[in-house]
Amino acid sequence: MKLAKGTREVFDAESLVEEYLGPRKRGLRYAYPYYDGLVTNDDPDLLCTGDLLAPSLLGVHVDVDRMHTLTALTPLLQRALDKLPPGIELIEADEVTLDLVAALYDPLDDPDVSDRDVKGSLIAKVLHRKRPALVPLFDSKVRIFYQHEDCVPPSPRDGRSWRQYMGLLVRAMQYDLRENAEEFRRLAALVPQSGPPVTPLRMLDVVVWMSSAV
């Protein structure tokens, strides 16, 4: 499977997915099914405080100070979330929708936001569960995986905004989903019937993250 717009090749994606989704011993467990199946307010359109704590299931430490920052950012995040069209998957999103996904991260570029202890990866882990087929997860492993001149180029010397970065990333991920659509359909068969569903976008994250972990 070629990903990151053809700049990376992942071998045996099936084994990586099976390892992530399958049962694991204590101390070795991954976030599935707990993060993906966490029930907060059961509303894909409305953020609540339970959603702000969900990233802890992906290994992110959400302490009191970060909770304070996330709570303060919630009205801005909710406003951006409200603009996303319902029922749209990243693979089919048009340019306007891709720009709206990138705009979810505008609060991180807002000079009026005083606390800076929240990064884009944490915002992604909060918002992904609300639109699991449209809003991607990412962290340092995903960032490094996609960083390439022909995919998501390194930041220029004068920097770039979070919106600019996410605009590049979501388009690269959309390309990967389209080019590997049949493979992701095949991987979907590995999702346990007793567990929460896994979207192709979430499956892409699993493949990228697990291939970067080995």
Predicted confidence (pLDDT) per residue in 11-28, tens digit? 999 999 999 999 999 999
61 three-class SS: coil
Percent of the chain whose pLDDT exceeds 70:
99
In the predicted structure, residue 213 carries a pLDDT above the cut 90: no
pTM of the model: 0.94
Instruction: Calculate mean pLDDT across residues 36-41.
Output: 96
Q: State how far the Cα of 50 lies from the Cα of 126, in Å rounded to an integer.
A: 9
Q: Please give the Cα distance from 131 to 126 (Å, whole number).
A: 10
Token look-up 């991954």 returns 30
pLDDT digits (tens, 9 = 90+) for 65-79: 999 999 999 999 999
> Is residue 105 within 8 Å of 163, Cβ to Cβ?
yes
- The stretch 40-56 carries a mean pLDDT of 96
Which candidate, 68, 69, 80, 78, places its Cα nearest to that of 47? 78
pLDDT digits (tens, 9 = 90+) for 144-162: 999 999 999 999 888 899 9
State the chain's mean pLDDT as an integer.
95
Is residue 101 within 8 A of residue 174, CB to CB? The reply is no
